[in-house]
Amino acid sequence: MTDPIAQRVAAATPPRLAHRIRGLSDRTIAWLFVAPTIFLLLAVNIFPLIWTIRLSMTNFRTNRPNNEVEFIWFENYQKILTDEDTWTSLQATAHFLIWTILLQVLIGFTLAYLINKKFRGNDLWTTLIVLPMMLSPAVVGNFWTFLYQPQIGLFNYFVQFLTGTDPASFSMIGEVALAPWAIVIVDTWMWTPFVMLICLAGLRSIPSSIYEAAECDRASKWRQFWTITIPMALPFLMLAVLFRGIENFKMFDLVVQLTGGGPGSTTLLTSIDLKREAFEKWRTGYASAYAVILFVTVFGLASIYVKALNKVKDR
Amino acid sequence: MSFSITEPSNRQKWIAGILVIGYAILTLIPLIWIIATGFKTPSDAIAYPPKLLFTPSLEGYVNLFTSRTRLAPEDLAALGDPTTWYDKIVRSYDMVITGPSRYGERFMNSVVIGFGSTFLSVFLGTIAAYAFSRFKVPLKDDLLFFILSTRMMPPIAVAIPIFLMYRELGLSDTRLGMILLYTAVNLSLSVWLLKGFIDEIPVEYEEAALIDGYTRFQAFYKVVLPQAATGIASTAIFCLIFAWNEYAFAALLTSGTAQTAPPFIPTIIGAGGKDWPAVAAGATLFLVPIMVFTILLRKHLLRGITFGAVRK
């Protein structure tokens, strides 16, 4: 930079031109590139979130726009938390969450373990197993109501084939005792492959040298499974549980098409309950408070879980 | 082939193979049933015991694409002989075709909204991901966490204020409204995935380009973009699949003009109750493209569905 000629050229170049030669500065580009994304997320995520929080403290009803809107602070929250129905739907959600996660982890991990034996053609079969989870839950869930029909439904016929029960004698989605299981079955059918894929990635990440070392030390296969396979695949397994947990806590499309929350309120998951409050009873303020409570719950639980996950990972 | 003590024995492989293939066949039965039911007549579809073998019929597809009305026998006779094969099918039920059904429109809405929002979210996602990957953007870490946390909101919770907002802005039940909404929802996934892909491209390539006299912008689209092409493509597939399958927003925010196929297909009904072959035909046409995509792109699946958490 001490070259006098270069300095003179630089001084003689008009600033505009210099700018054009170098192009836009990195800072400008950074902001230019990020701005549209931030704008869209603010407009469609943050702004509505703030609006929801505001609405949640009012008695606003979308179907009565002329009513005077009163600011009632936390009355909605109080109502929701003391309402029996809220706890009923939380129980339905808990039943759904616990069983789907348990079944999906068990079946998904077993499948991943088997696929990891690398039999011939495992690639093709893995892809075929994955198909259900890529499809539209609403469309597929709707069709499952056909499979669940008493008498003519394929599912009932299959149960008859296995156990000899009369296929006309039970209705998976029409009976209080069976409906919670009907939704667990379909969700498990649809999302087990997801857990399987993540577990498979976990199993494949374990270097074979560890097993070779264990083999040299004469560790039994059983011992290898519990001291190598499970601990090393655990972070992946926990990740799968996190994703499934969040997704199933907000489950809507599949179940609303299958049972619509019925019979009674046996499968009335929180999302479906929320939809009824907001878009059928039009209690907008109340539903907003409900939404905030659900969001805080998921967010809180997920944060705690992620901390635990990171601890397992670092170990 | 080298011998390894950790390689599973042939017997283990056989057992594993049989179990996995058994599960795969079991899990595919509902999907095969959807496709098969689409080619059944309504009476075959509800036969007991369920019919595995049947004479294929295109009735479901005809009913899917047309709306029909029942006529008295003398009016039917007055119309003369049916002229086309689909007329013939409909006439055998004493009905005539009165016009196309709404399925075509709904399917087109799905195509337009799906591809529109995919293009936007991948375009915006790529440039944002580049900035996040290469520059010091303030609050970078928080932003990425924030982007992901928007996925924790139940869709119904988001739909309440969007419903009110769109009503004010005149965006309710429009394709543009749905494109913007799906773009915003997908953008979080898109930025997050693409940042992962761009992080993997060595910075040295761009630095070399910059030294060669490229501007930052040229370096971006002549060096980084081609390298990220695979990542961009697989991100696009995930955005497309999300928008294609999405139900909650579509069901709540659209009713007439902009309704997509997922809320429409379950509402297809026939003359006497649910017309399952037509529903199955509609579902088949809607689901098969995604099945084909999945099989073709299986190598790039994992990263997308795990939000980039699993990279292999």
Question: Sign of the CA dihedral B120, B282, B299, A205?
Answer: positive
Per the domain annotation, does B73 fall within a domain?
no
B137 to A34: CB separation less than 8 angstroms, yes or no: yes
In a mutagenesis test of the B interface, which of A25, A62, A128 is the best target, namely the one with the most B β-carbons within 10 Å?
Answer: A128
pLDDT in tens, B232-266: 988 898 899 999 999 999 999 988 889 999 999 99
In chain A, residues with a C-beta closer than 8 Å to the C-beta of B265 are: 138-139, 142
Of A43, A122, A149, the CB nearest to B20: A122
Range from A37-51, A287-301, B19-33 carrying the lowest mean pLDDT: A37-51
pTM of the model: 0.88
In chain A the domains, ranked by start, together with CATH numbers, are 4-55 (no CATH), 75-314 (1.10.3720.10)
Q: Three-state SS string across chain A, please?
A: CCCHHHHHHHHHCCHHHHHHHHCCCHHHHHHHHHHHHHHHHHHHHHHHHHHHHHHCCECCCCCCCCCCCCECCCHHHHHHHHCHHHHHHHHHHHHHHHHHHHHHHHHHHHHHHHHCCCCCCHHHHHHHHHHHHHCCHHHHHHHHHHHCCCCCCHHHHHHHHHHCCCCCCCCCCCCCCCHHHHHHHHHHHHHHHHHHHHHHHHHHCCCHHHHHHHHHCCCCHHHHHHHHHHHHHHHHHHHHHHHHHHHHHCCCHHHHHHCCCCCCCCCCCHHHHHHHHHHCCCCHHHHHHHHHHHHHHHHHHHHHHHHHHHHHHHC
Q: Which residue of A has its CA nearest to B150?
A: A45
Minimal C-alpha gap between A4 and chain B (Å):
22
Residue A18 has pLDDT above 80, yes or no: no
In chain B, residues with a C-beta closer than 8 Å to the C-beta of A129 are: 20, 23-24, 27
Three-point CA angle A143, A147, A151, nearest 5°: 140
> How far apart are alpha carbons B43 and B59 in whole angstroms?
11
Per the domain annotation, does B52 fall within a domain?
no
Domain count, chain B: 1
A252 to B247: CB separation less than 8 angstroms, yes or no: yes
Per the domain annotation, does B285 fall within a domain?
no
Comparing A263 with B303, which gets the higher pLDDT? Answer: A263
A134 to B293: CB separation less than 8 angstroms, yes or no: yes
Helix, strand, coil percentages (3-state) for chain B, rounded to 5, are 70, 5, 25
pLDDT in tens, B211-228: 888 888 888 888 899 988
pLDDT in tens, B58-95: 888 988 998 888 888 888 888 878 888 888 888 888 88
A40 to B183: CB separation less than 8 angstroms, yes or no: yes
- A130: nearest Cα among B291, B18, B237, B289: B291
Report the pLDDT value the prediction gives residue A3, as an integer from 0 to 100: 58
B181 to A275: CB separation less than 8 angstroms, yes or no: no
Contact between B188 and B148 (Cβ < 8 Å): yes
Per the domain annotation, does B306 fall within a domain?
no
Q: Is A213 on the interface with B (CB under 8 A)?
A: no
Note down the domain range covering B169: 104-267
Residue B158 has pLDDT above 50, yes or no: yes
Of A147, A198, A246, the CB nearest to B30: A147
ipTM > 0.85, yes or no: yes
In chain A, residues with a C-beta closer than 8 Å to the C-beta of B125 are: 37
CATH classification of the domain holding B250? 1.10.3720.10
In chain B, residues with a C-beta closer than 8 Å to the C-beta of A236 are: 310
Of A125, A131, A194, the CB nearest to B291: A131
Q: Which residue of B has its CA nearest to A240?
A: B306
How many beta-carbon contacts under 8 Å exist across A and B? 298
In chain B, residues with a C-beta closer than 8 Å to the C-beta of A45 are: 150, 153, 158, 184
Question: Sign of the CA dihedral A160, A166, A168, A169?
Answer: negative
